[in-house]
Chains A and B, each alone.
Chain A
Amino acid sequence: MSGPLITAHQLVKRFGDFTAVAGIDVEVRKGEVFGFLGPNGAGKSSTMRMIACVSPVTSGELRLFGLDPATHGSQIRGRIGVVPQMDTLDTELTVEENLRIYGRFFDLPRAECRRRSAELLEFAQLTERASSVVENLSGGMKRRLSIARSLINEPELLLLDEPTTGLDPQARHVLWDRLYRLKQQGVTLVLTTHYMDEAEQLCDRLVVMDQGRIVAEGSPRSLIEQHSTREVLELRFAAGTNESFEAQVAGLGDRHEVLPDRILIYADDGEGALAAAHARGLQPESALVRRASLEDVFLHLTGRTLVD
């Protein structure tokens, strides 16, 4: 199979007369890690649910493995793994039973379910908790179990809706490592995230969504190059006074953005911009030079920040 794994053409999702996804075009190739980035309500989950063949397409064309979800949903779902935004673990079962019964939903033989469950428990570092009731797991453990469960059918394509939301930084890094290993095994990954660092770490290619539309597309690097400068200077003045400094920072860099809590100055040479600011007599409470990130791209594209 050499064509793209997923193709979406003018894909639309409406709930009543509210349009959650307003005609997007996406292509995901085999073996790549593809990301959907966007603020709350952008339509990421709606898109993911259509791709997962659990939400009917309102209009437009969607194909997975060349098949139409409307007619071959069951077959397609048999070849993919899904980690929904909210865990749907079976709270009446133990950790290990969750994996096992899920495998049965995919028609795997019992012995095979047991074998893979044991492997995946290892993968998710949950072997010690195998016989705990799911209710008693921590949030991070539940998330890892969700991911392990989605792998029970050895999917060719894995869909992850905000896989790391609610995890502490360490748990997040463990998870990134696991996803990276899957990628090396040739699994195609599609994920959504609010986190720019996550997208930068994991994604080969991504689209930025806002209000149901795709506002930018490309590799993390190319997006940063197109929509930002190499470096960013962040200046913080006394609370509530940022606005009043707008005129004084003009021209320090290529562009600037005034946010409620800080001013961002886009410049290829951040240190130079900071020196220039000091030269103008500006006395910020704090100043920070950092590399540009997808956060800045998003801010530029939508005029809004992406912190939740």
Chain B
Amino acid sequence: MSGLLFRIAPPVMAVRRPHRMIERHLLAYRHQWLIIVSGFFEPLFYLLSMRAGLGDLVGTVRFGGAEVPYDQFVAPALMASSAMNGAIFDSTGNVLGRLKYFRLYDAALATPMTPADVAVGEIGWALLRGQLYAVSFLAVMWGMGLIGSPWVILALPACALIGFTFAAIGFAGTTFMRGWQDMDIVNTALMPLFLFSATFFPTSSYGKWEWVVQLSPLYHGVALVRAANSGVWTAGIIGHVAVLLGLALIALAIAARRLDHLLRK
């Protein structure tokens, strides 16, 4: 057993100082606070646009056996998507730059920091940023009267889980990238997730293709946030959490391994 553990987590994988990476980012973003602040507006604009423009056109949506106003239907999905987008944004382009072009990780690894510290630190940072946006988005939803139940507070841990999963996936994917040109793949991959995760219309619209939606990790995240906002919990929740958590752990293992391979040549 200890032999197995050792293989999964050799000494270079020890996680002791991931928070140092976060400390560094806090310092760096002091010069670029605009990036952090502006990240909050993207989902807000989507929400406002959906509410003002499409809300009227669509009217209500039949969901969970009730007619739900369109903005109330879309808001939790936007919250989940922005958790995904934020996490991916932080763990792909930024990580690629630090890995290949600014050599930040090379510098860090010349200190007692380990590749696992770097990986966990980056994912932790993406998570923190995601939580910041999630909290502010929740405040906006509250201000717009879109909160359906006090359970909505559980949307925060749900977004943390979404952020964790996608940050890990993004980080793992980035370790395979050749350069900036591969960022195009990320954008192309995100779009179907964003559009087809029961974000803008209910799964029933898909008819017999409904099951395909289940393949999207974001769908499980959206389902969690919607459940929180409506306060209706079903056994399916466990499944959604399990999918996200499972994906996150697999991606995390790949990320730490690849990072070790890339940086400790």
Shortest Cβ-Cβ A-B pairs, 9 listed: A105-B111, A88-B107, A92-B28, A88-B103, A82-B110, A78-B112, A74-B112, A88-B106, A101-B24
A64-104 Cβ-contact flags toward B at 8 Å (1 or 0): 00000011111101100010101011111100010011101
Q: Is A107 close to B, CB under 8 A?
A: yes
Do the beta carbons of B112 and A84 come within 8 Å of each other?
Answer: no
Inside 8 A of B111's CB, which chain A residues have their CB? 77-78, 102, 105-106, 153
Inside 8 A of B20's CB, which chain A residues have their CB? 101, 104-105
Inside 8 A of A91's CB, which chain B residues have their CB? 102
Among B31, B111, B112, B114, the most chain A Cβ lie within 10 Å of the Cβ of B111
Do the beta carbons of B102 and A56 come within 8 Å of each other?
Answer: no
Do the beta carbons of B107 and A89 come within 8 Å of each other?
Answer: yes
Do the beta carbons of A105 and B113 come within 8 Å of each other?
Answer: yes
Q: Is B11 close to A, CB under 8 A?
A: yes
Do the beta carbons of A84 and B110 come within 8 Å of each other?
Answer: yes
Do the beta carbons of B106 and A107 come within 8 Å of each other?
Answer: no
**Which residues of B approach A to under 8 Å, CB–CB?**
11-12, 14, 16-17, 20, 23-24, 27-28, 31-32, 102-104, 106-114, 263-265
Inside 8 A of B27's CB, which chain A residues have their CB? 93, 97, 100-101
Q: Is A55 close to B, CB under 8 A?
A: yes
A-B contact pairs, 28 of them (CB 8 A): A49-B265, A52-B110, A54-B264, A55-B264, A55-B265, A71-B11, A72-B11, A73-B114, A74-B11, A74-B14, A74-B113, A74-B114, A88-B103, A88-B107, A89-B107, A92-B32, A92-B102, A93-B27, A93-B28, A97-B27, A101-B27, A102-B111, A104-B20, A105-B20, A105-B108, A105-B112, A105-B113, A153-B111
Inside 8 A of B104's CB, which chain A residues have their CB? 88, 90
Inside 8 A of B31's CB, which chain A residues have their CB? 92
Measured between C-beta atoms, what is the minimum distance from B12 to chain A in Å? 6
Inside 8 A of A49's CB, which chain B residues have their CB? 265
Given A101-B27, A105-B112, A106-B112, are A90 and B16 neighbors across the interface (CB < 8 Å)? no
